[in-house]
Amino acid sequence: MKNAVGREIPDALLVNGKEVYQGKNYMDGKYLQKAAPCTRRYEKPQESKIVGSIAEALRQVGAKSGMTFSFHHHLRNGDFVANMVMQAAIDELGLEDLTIAATSLGEAHDPIAEYIEAGKVVGIQTSGIRGRIGDVVSAGKLKTPAIIRSHGGRPRAIEAGEVHIDIAFVAAPTSDCVGNCRGIGGKSNCGSLGYAMTDAKYADHVVVVTDCLVDFPNMPASVEAIDVDAVVVVDSIGNPKKIASAAARISQNPRDLMMAEDVAKVIAATPWFREGFSFQTGVGGPSLAANLFLEKYMDERGIKMGWAIGGICGPMVELLKKGKVGKVIDVQDFDLDAVNSINQTPGHYEMSASQYANPANKGAFVNKLDFVVLAALEIDTGFNVNVLTGSDGVLRGAPGGHPDTAAGSKCCIIVTPLVRGRMATVCKNVVTVTTPGDCVDVLVTDYGIAVNPLRPDLVECLDKAGIPHVPVEALQEKAYSLVGTPDDLEWEDQVVAVLEARDGTILDVVRKIKPLVLD
Amino acid sequence: MIPRPKPERFRLRRTMMFMNAQKPGLIKDAYIYGVDSIMLDLEDAVAENQKDAARFSLYHALKTIDYGDTEVIVRINGLDTPHWEEDIRVCVAAGADGIRIAKCESAQDVKTVEEHVEAAEREFGVEVGRTLLMAALESPKGIINAYEICAASDRMFGVAISGGDFRKCMQTKFQPDGVDMLAARGQMLIAARAAGIQCFDTVFTDLDDNEGFLAEVRQNKAMGFDGKSLINPKQIRPVHEIFAPTEKEVRQAEAMVQAFREAAAAGIGVFTVNGKMVDVAFIPGAERTLRLAKACGMYEGDLV
């Protein structure tokens, strides 16, 4: 069945009430019966929940074959915990048929690809999928299609019981002996633990893995001891160098800077650029550089930003310290400046992924967002964005909060170069739709700006400000004139990944790519 | 093949950005930054044993990339090198809008280049006279001979000073107030204006010193330069902003041109606009202001 972004969704997937994507806000007003976990009572006081090893913790909470384990990705490419847990479960306990429900998976988790190939891991639910896991899933080696969700779609699915987490693992930079966790104060600091919060509340069992045991009580706790079954102390939960970069630098690339300046110009031309406006930007070159130019316009107009959300890094913390933004609230901290600021700098707070972006709760932050600036691997003439699959059709990306912020914000700006090498970024049809075009408002490229025809109000804003813009088709044609028209990818029938829209409907599927045979 | 329109000898040239002709990644779409002229360099940016490769890169860039309204000039190697003759042939064959003569010291240098340009135009079937010329003055001798250089050919549209070499000859270094090159800039400007051609200032090389750059550009404008040579796209917008006329200047220029045309139609030579006496002598300047304003997006009328 074809969905609202023109993608053919196999009927076999439309079971148990699953629907195809119907457009923005389709689920608005409907009721949700929340799922509840089945948790063990710890009535008898215990001095400590520390157990000797991950394997021991798994035994204690009754880990069995067929279970779903959850992980969070605050340690990013430095994470050791997911690999350690899977190794203990499969190699030491001999478990199989496991499903991994992670907030994201990256190159750090390459060893898990072997468990997929061996048929021990049979399900993957994640936002990001990269590296060897992306390769083996794309090659059709995972028993069931991977389910890809946005950062807001994941807590929605957990709360709705579509994902039931048997054991949640919390990689904690610091924990006390009963499991109060924080993202700071240790040797592998990551700042916010926002993605782990919903998991801890909805999992039957919660195991904390830390490399820095601190005195009780570890306050203010991001994950609370009231939800934790066991604490494991290991030598190292991750590689600090890969957890957070020293400092996110603002790009000096003239192309990035030019696009960033245009982004700021577009923002300043809209009615929402006023005292107290709200903003989120990515950490990619031009997205991050937008901060710089936005500050210039803020100074010119004598206005301040009310609040910013996101993934956060240094430049936004800098604005907070200068008093140019009122509050910063985040689920993730990308560099040490942000890590060292959260819950320390007045006005810098932590929030859960549900509070950030869940479309089914009663007031996610994204719904109050004025502007979001996002990148794209590809964007098509219907303004649909792909941030998941490469031009070769292989899974190598992450929707993350992209679809959530795009849908919630008043003005969603995509900033991307028109071409990358020989690849047209602006194309006729994206490989995979990860953010539907009805949520995307403006496209800023190095070759010009295009406004989604669904937003005549923004067209008027740009015209009034004298900002030139062209139809998106003109940008796509320019891209093809520069690098040529790409051939269509060739797929097999097997669906290797299902891409859920944030509301739980099916936005797109990724099929197994036909192996490339050179003549 | 992208046919380029016939170059205009006098057009807006606020910014001329140098780019190594050998770097496809740079030159493939240099026009996106909104620079008035691109200066593809075959001279100092290209290593001695890479001159041929750079010429090929230049030729194919000009033949396959649509630079649109952005002027494309090529800096050729000096007349004291074995490269300049082949440089001229490739510029003309590829259809470059103009050639910048490096280390120009005399009218004869201009005439020598002009002869070779004309020969190349005949060789490649290019309209004779199409290819424009400008001279870079890099030595005290070039400055002394500035007027004869500026007036040496009808193809000459402008003259520029090259600070690096000139300062070395003069045994001085960059000074924030510009005193190191004050006399040379002044003499070159006077020569260019006397010959009726444009005049461009040298590059500012310290990309981290934004304040110093802005100060130099403001001084350039105050001295009467038409534009400036640049080394990085991020320098473009500040120059355009500083060279832009003020709102008041635009309104005054518009009123003057308007009033002059009405007065001329009515047979009146001298009249007043906003209390100021205006006659025909003011009009070219006013028209120039309006053209500049149009390029800066400040004027949308049809007087120019």
Tell me: the pLDDT tens digits for A312-332? 999 999 999 999 999 999 999
> Who among B32, B234, B237 is closest to A446 (CB)?
B32
Least CA distance to B299: which residue of chain A?
A: A466
Asked if the structure places residue A110 within a domain, the reply is yes
Residues A284 and A200 in one domain: no
Asked if the structure places residue A7 within a domain, the reply is no
Helix/strand/coil for B258? helix
Question: Which tops the pLDDT comparison, A338 or A245?
Answer: A338
- Rg of the Cα atoms in chain A: 22
Residues A440 and A318 in one domain: yes
The reply to whether A447 touches chain B by the CB within 8 Å rule is yes
Residues A332 and A428 in one domain: yes
Residues A272 and A310 in one domain: yes
| Secondary structure (DSSP) of A444-494 | EETTEEEE-TT-HHHHHHHHHTT-----HHHHHHHHHHHH-PPPPP-EEEE
Least CA distance to B232: which residue of chain A?
A: A254
Cα A303 to Cα A296: distance, rounded to the nearest angstrom: 10
Residues A163 and A133 in one domain: yes
**pLDDT for the residue numbered B303:** 85
Residue of A251, A258, A444 to mutate for B, most B C-beta atoms under 10 A = A258
Least CA distance to A445: which residue of chain B?
A: B32
Looking at residue B51, the DSSP 8-state letter turns out to be H
From A222-226, A400-404, B61-65, B129-133, the region with the lowest mean pLDDT: B61-65
The verdict on domain B15-243 having CATH code 3.20.20.60 is yes
Interchain proximity A261–B237, CB inside 8 Å: yes
> Who among A258, A466, A482 is closest to B33 (CB)?
A258
Cα A443 to Cα A450: distance, rounded to the nearest angstrom: 5
In which band, very low, low, confident or very high, does the pLDDT at B202 lie, cut at 50, 70 and 90?
Answer: very high
Interchain proximity A254–B232, CB inside 8 Å: yes
The reply to whether A234 touches chain B by the CB within 8 Å rule is no
Least CA distance to A448: which residue of chain B?
A: B32
Interchain proximity A446–B29, CB inside 8 Å: yes
Domain boundaries, chain B: 15-243, 247-295
Q: Are B42 and B74 in contact (CB under 8 A)?
A: yes
Q: Is the model's pLDDT at A30 over the cut of 80?
A: yes
Least CA distance to B64: which residue of chain A?
A: A482
Residues A204 and A299 in one domain: no
> What average pLDDT does range A2-16 have in this prediction?
95
Residues A302 and A426 in one domain: yes
Q: pLDDT over 90 for what percent of chain A?
A: 93
Helix/strand/coil for A124? strand
**pLDDT for the residue numbered A69:** 98
Q: Are B21 and B41 in contact (CB under 8 A)?
A: yes
Interchain proximity B234–A254, CB inside 8 Å: yes
**Single-letter residue type at A12:** A
**pLDDT for the residue numbered B51:** 96
From A302-306, A380-384, B276-280, the region with the lowest mean pLDDT: B276-280
- Average pLDDT of every residue of chain A: 95
Length of chain B: 304
**pLDDT for the residue numbered B33:** 93
Q: Is the model's pLDDT at B257 over the cut of 70?
A: yes
**pLDDT for the residue numbered B261:** 86
Asked if the structure places residue A504 within a domain, the reply is no
Asked if the structure places residue A417 within a domain, the reply is yes
Where does residue B230 rank: exposed (0-12), middle (13-18), buried (19+ CB within 10 A)? buried
pLDDT digit string (tens) for A79-138?
999 999 999 999 999 999 999 999 999 999 999 999 999 999 999 999 999 999 999 999
If DSSP states are collapsed to H, E and C, what string results for A195-247? HHHHHHHHCCEEEEEECCECCCCCCCCCECHHHCCEEEECCCCECHHHHCECC
The reply to whether A480 touches chain B by the CB within 8 Å rule is no
Asked if the structure places residue A392 within a domain, the reply is yes
Q: Rounded to whole angstroms, what are the CA distances from A361 to A32, A128, A356, B59, B295?
A: 9, 23, 10, 60, 51
The reply to whether A446 touches chain B by the CB within 8 Å rule is yes
Question: Which tops the pLDDT comparison, B304 or A397?
Answer: A397
Nearest to B84 by CA among B123, B39, B116, B37: B116
Residues A115 and A146 in one domain: yes
> What average pLDDT does range B21-49 have in this prediction?
92
For residue B233, which residues of chain A lie inside 8 Å, CB to CB? Answer: 254-255, 257-258
pLDDT digit string (tens) for A424-454?
999 999 999 999 999 999 999 999 999 999 9
C-alpha distance from A447 to closest chain B C-alpha (Å): 6
Our measurement of the distance from residue B234's CA atom to the centroid of its chain's CA atoms, rounded to an integer in Å, reads 18
Asked if the structure places residue A30 within a domain, the reply is no
> Residue A56: what are its φ and ψ, rounded to 5°?
-65, -40
In which band, very low, low, confident or very high, does the pLDDT at B216 lie, cut at 50, 70 and 90?
Answer: very high
pLDDT digit string (tens) for A279-300?
999 888 888 899 889 999 999 9
**pLDDT for the residue numbered B5:** 87
pLDDT digit string (tens) for A477-498?
999 999 999 999 999 999 999 9
Interchain proximity B32–A466, CB inside 8 Å: no
Chain B: residues touching A (Cβ < 8 Å): 29, 32-33, 232-234, 237, 297
Residues A220 and A273 in one domain: no
Q: Is the model's pLDDT at B267 over the cut of 80?
A: yes
The reply to whether A257 touches chain B by the CB within 8 Å rule is yes
Residues A216 and A271 in one domain: no
In which band, very low, low, confident or very high, does the pLDDT at B1 lie, cut at 50, 70 and 90?
Answer: low
Q: Is the model's pLDDT at A248 over the cut of 80?
A: no
Instruction: Determine which helix (DSSP H) or strand (DSSP E) holds A426, and give its type and residue range.
Output: strand A426-427
Cα A148 to Cα A154: distance, rounded to the nearest angstrom: 9
> Residue A506: what are its φ and ψ, rounded to 5°?
-95, 120
> Domain with A101 in it: what CATH number?
3.40.1080.10
Q: Is the model's pLDDT at B244 over the cut of 80?
A: yes
What's the total number of domains in chain A? 2
The reply to whether A261 touches chain B by the CB within 8 Å rule is yes
C-alpha distance from B289 to closest chain A C-alpha (Å): 20
For residue A261, which residues of chain B lie inside 8 Å, CB to CB? Answer: 237
pLDDT digit string (tens) for B69-128?
999 999 999 999 999 999 999 999 999 999 999 999 999 999 999 999 999 999 999 999
Interchain proximity A446–B234, CB inside 8 Å: no
Asked if the structure places residue A205 within a domain, the reply is yes
Residues A284 and A147 in one domain: no
Helices and strands, counts by H and E, chain B: 12, 10
Interchain proximity B297–A466, CB inside 8 Å: yes
Cα B64 to Cα B49: distance, rounded to the nearest angstrom: 25
Q: pLDDT over 90 for what percent of chain B?
A: 74
Question: Which tops the pLDDT comparison, B34 or B275?
Answer: B34
For residue B234, which residues of chain A lie inside 8 Å, CB to CB? Answer: 254, 257
What interface predicted TM-score (ipTM) does this complex get? 0.81
Q: Where are the alpha helices (DSSP H) in A30-99?
A: 54-60, 81-87
For residue A349, what are the domain limits?
254-499
Residues A225 and A328 in one domain: no
CB pairs under 8 A between A and B: 18
Q: Rounded to a whole number, what is the distance in angstroms from the first to the last CA of chain B?
A: 32
C-alpha distance from A299 to closest chain B C-alpha (Å): 18
Helix/strand/coil for B302? coil
In which band, very low, low, confident or very high, does the pLDDT at B266 lie, cut at 50, 70 and 90?
Answer: confident
pLDDT digit string (tens) for A148-198?
999 999 999 999 999 999 999 999 999 999 999 999 999 999 999 999 999
For residue B237, which residues of chain A lie inside 8 Å, CB to CB? Answer: 261
